[in-house]
Copies of this chain bind each other. A is one copy, B any other.
Amino acid sequence: MSTLRFTTDTTVDGVREREFALDDVPGLLFSPASGAGGPLVLLGHGGGTHKRWPRFVGRAHRLVLDGGFTVAALDAPGHGDRPRTPTDEREVAALRRVQAAGEPIGPVVERYNLDIARRSVPEWRAALDALAALPEIGPDGPVGWFGTNMATAIGIPLLAAEPRITAAVLGQFWPGPLEETARRVTVPVEFVLQWDDEFISRESGLALFDALGSTEKSLHANAGRHMELPRFEADSAVRFFVRHLSARSTG
C-alpha cells in the first residue's frame, strides 16, 4: 500500500489544511478546524491548475464549512508541484499552438486529459486506500467525487472502477471515449454544463450527461460561456453531497 505522510498542518479561516505526500504524489487534506470531519469528498482540479488554485481551495472550504466534509485533493500528473513527463511537455506545447492559432482546443484537451486520467485513476484509488486507513476517516463511510473539466475525464473512469465512491458532481467535458465508460457509472450524479460553452458544444455536453448510467442524475445547464460557471453551483454541489453522503433519506 502507498504511504501517506503529512508534511504541514495549518488552519485557515476555520479550515485545517494538511499537505501530504502519497508516495511521490503531493496532496492536501481539508477538514473542520473545530474537530472531526464528516464524510470524505475527493476533489479533483481542472486542467492547467493545481491543489492550491484559489477557486479550487474555495470549493474545498465550502465543502468543509457548509457541509462538514473532509476533503482530499491531489495534484494531477504533470500539474502543480509535480514534474512534467515528455508527454506532458508535448501536449502542453500542442495546446499552446492551437490556442495561438485560434484553432479549437477540444481535440488536444480531450486527448491529453484522457492520458492524464489513465495515470491519475490509480493514484486516486491508492489515496482512497491510504485515507481509509487513517483513524479519523476509516473504511466505512460514504465517499464523494467532485470534479469538473479535466476532473470529469478522471472522475468517470474512477467512478466506473471504484465502488467506494457513492455520489459525484461532474461536468464540462466532451463525450468521446468517455461515453462508453459513463454507462458504467451508476451512482447519483449532479452534472454541470454551460449552455453557451465556446469549447464544448451543447450536443456534446448533453450526450455525456445522457450516457451516464445513473438512475438518479441532475443536469444543471447555465447560460454563459465555458469559464462562467456560476458560483452558486459550488453551493449546490455541497447540498448534493449533504443529501447523498450525510442524510441519504432526505433527497
* Residues of B contacting A251 in the complex (Cβ-Cβ under 8 angstroms): 230-232
- Is A222 an interface residue when CB atoms closer than 8 A count as contact? yes
Number of interface residues of A (CB under 8 A): 22
* Residues of B contacting A218 in the complex (Cβ-Cβ under 8 angstroms): 220-223, 230
Q: How far is the CA of A167 from the CA of B214 in the complex (A)?
A: 32
Q: How far is the CA of A195 from the CA of B207 in the complex (A)?
A: 12
Within 8 A of B (CB), among A179-231: 195, 206, 209-210, 214-223, 230-231
| CB-based nearest B residue for A232 | B251
- Is A236 an interface residue when CB atoms closer than 8 A count as contact? yes
- Is A111 an interface residue when CB atoms closer than 8 A count as contact? no
Q: How far is the CA of A112 from the CA of B9 in the complex (A)?
A: 65
Q: How far is the CA of A243 from the CA of B236 in the complex (A)?
A: 13
Q: In the complex the two chains form, is B232's CB within 8 Å of A223's CB?
A: no
* Residues of B contacting A209 in the complex (Cβ-Cβ under 8 angstroms): 221
Within 8 A of B (CB), among A232-251: 232, 235-236, 239, 243, 251
* Residues of B contacting A195 in the complex (Cβ-Cβ under 8 angstroms): 210, 217, 219
Of the candidates B206, B214, B243, the one whose C-beta lies within 8 Å of that of A223 is: B214
Q: In the complex the two chains form, is B215's CB within 8 Å of A223's CB?
A: yes
Instruction: List the 5 shortest-distance A-B pairs measured between CB atoms, nearest first.
Output: A219-B221, A217-B223, A218-B222, A220-B220, A215-B223
